[in-house]
Structure formats: structure tokens, C-alpha cells
A and B are shown apart, each in its own frame.
Chain A
Amino acid sequence: MKTEDIDILIARFYQGETEENEEKLLVEYFTVDNTSADYKTDSTVLHSLSEETEVPQGLENKISSLIDSWEEGEKSKTEKIAKLEFRKRILSIAASLLLIVSIGIWYQYNSSVNSEMVNTFEDPQESHEVVVEALRLFSNNFSKGTQTIEKADNRVDNTFKIVEQVLSESPVQE
């Protein structure tokens, strides 16, 4: 490569106009020719900036394994969440059933208590005794009622007798 061409490329390099292949040409030139003192600084700059980056071997495999482990981790996490959700659903269904059954039992219990109050006795003897007791109570109350009526009736009779007596004793004024 001619010195003029090198000068042009170097000028373009410092103006930020060189392409990758042109910069490679420059680096190769300075590596092979070891350059004169005129290009000492340019050679240093170009060599320093043209360092090839070595990518660690197996980096892609390492990342690939990491992705696998993340995916595996997410799957097991999802499964755990699904199990928890399932348990929650089962528990909520069980709780709902328990509530429904409780309400049912409570309702049935209340109904049976009411029906006990309304219905007749299953035991005829007991029923008979209750009926006799009720009739006795009724009879007592009825007797009390008739006694009062009899007293009132007697009083009315006595009153009539007194009135008749007074009328018979007093003279008749015509």
C-alpha cells in the first residue's frame, strides 16, 4: 500500500469515516511494516482500538442451560400454583357444601320443632292424658262460669221477691 493511500485512510479514520475493512487494512499495514516514527502514534491508537474480543467458550451453552433451568423453575412454580388453586377450589366447594348442609339441618330441625308443636301425640296414652287434662281444665273453668251465673240468677230471684213483697205491702192508689 502506498504511503499516500495510508495517509488518506488515516485522515479518514480520525474523521470517523472509515469502514471496518479499511480499518483492518490499516492495522494489517502497521503490523507488517512496523511503520516509521511518523506513524508511531497512529499505530498505537489503531492497535489499541483493534483488539479482538474473545468470547468465552461455551457461553452460549451456559445461557442455554440457564434458559432451561428458568423454564423448569417456572413450570414447577406454575404446577405449585395450580395445586394451590385446586386446593383452594376444593376447600371453597367443601365450605359451601358444609354451609348448605348446615342450613339444611338447621331448617329441618326448626321445621321438626314446629311440627311437634302442631301435630298430635304419637303415643295414644299420653295423648289421652293431655286431652283429659285439657278437658278438666275446660270443665273447671266452665264450672266456675256456671257458678257465677247461678249466683247472679239467685240474686235476680231475691230482688224480684223483695220487689213483689214491697208491692204487696203498700196500699193501692187508684
Chain B
Amino acid sequence: MDGNEFKSRFLPFTKLIYKVSFAITRDKEDAEDIVQEVFEKLWKSRDSLSSVLNDEGYIITVARNLALDRYRSKTKRIILPFAEVSEIYEDGFIDSKIEQKEKLINVEKLICTLPQSQQTVIRLRHFGDLSIFQIAETMELTQENVRQLLSRGRRTIKEKIEKIYEN
């Protein structure tokens, strides 16, 4: 497979790879690095990719795995204990756009406290814009399993935010 063939087959997935990577790492530089890593990996193994039937599913899986590896290596830096997260919400409900952004960052920290599978499903669904079907395929789960994980994750986030507001 030459460069042009490779580009026409895989380049259209650039945005998808970035979204999946960013959804998991939540870091623009990391996400860009992962996009590059994914393409490098694909380029190096391009001669054996003829057996891949579902390019999109394959690429999402590669991106997700690389992003999770990077995320795990940085987890200690990102995760905050719940008490610390609560302190961030002490000021109550915030309306302005800047505060909304701050709120988003804090929900991100709440997501970090979820079990890994719930985290991944929530990130891929909401930040990676993947469909339930795509997530099920890349995580080798049924769509029903994905919906259950999504449900548990969303409920937990809601409960934690409610507790913060109660305080």
C-alpha cells in the first residue's frame, strides 16, 4: 500500500481518532500525539491491514488502547480524592460561561472516580461522540452492556453532584 492509498483509506478517520483520544486523555497535546501514534502504527503495519474488515472499529480500538495507556500513566496526576472534588463545588451552582467551564472540569474529575469501564464508556459516548454501537464494537461488549455502564456512570455522577450541592 503506497502513501496515497494509505491516505485515502485512513486519513478521513483523523477527527474520529482525535475525538476518541481527547475523550479519554482530556489533553489536547496528548490527543494530538496519540493521533500521530495511531497513524504511525497503521503505517508500519499497513501491509497486514488488508485482513481488517472494519477500518473504523479497528482504528477506534487502536486509538482507545493508546489513549488508555497514556491516561493510566497520568492517572495519579489527574485523580483527586472525592473530598477535594467536593471543595471545588462548595460555592454552589454556577451560571456564567467561565464558571460553566470550571464546572465541566470538575465533572471531569468526578468521572475519574468512576470504575474504568464506566469512565471509558462515558468518555467515548460524550467526548468522543461515538455511538453505542461503535463503543460496543471497540470494547467487545453488547450494546445492552454499554447502555448499562453508561447508565451507572451517569447516575453516579448525578448522585455525587447532588451531594456536593447539598453540602
A49 proximity list for chain B (CB < 8 A): 107, 122, 126-127, 154, 157
Stretch of B28-36, B53-61, B63-71, B72-80 contacting A (4+ beta carbons < 8 Å): B28-36
Q: Beta-carbon contacts of B18-42 to A below 8 Å, as 1s and 0s?
A: 1100110000100010011001100
A91 within 8 A of B: no
Closest CB of chain B to A106's CB: distance in Å?
50
A79 to B32, CA, bound (A): 31
Q: In the complex, what's the smallest C-beta–C-beta distance from A136 to chain B, in angstroms?
A: 88
Complex Cα distance, B3 from A71, in Å, reads 6
- A residues near B (Cβ < 8 Å) are 13-17, 20, 34, 40-42, 44-45, 47-51, 53, 55-56, 59-60, 63-64, 66-68, 70-71
24 contacts between A and B (CB under 8 A): A16-B146, A16-B149, A16-B150, A17-B151, A20-B129, A41-B162, A42-B158, A44-B107, A44-B161, A47-B104, A48-B108, A49-B122, A49-B157, A51-B104, A53-B127, A53-B129, A59-B35, A60-B14, A63-B36, A64-B7, A66-B39, A67-B3, A68-B3, A71-B2
Closest 10 pairs between A and B when the two form their complex, measured CB to CB: A16-B151, A48-B107, A16-B147, A16-B150, A71-B3, A49-B126, A60-B14, A48-B104, A55-B15, A53-B19
Question: Mask for B121-150, Cβ within 8 A of A = 1, else 0?
Answer: 010001111010000000000000011111
Instruction: Kindly name the residue among B103, B131, B151 whose own CB sees the greatest number of chain A CB atoms within 10 A.
Output: B151
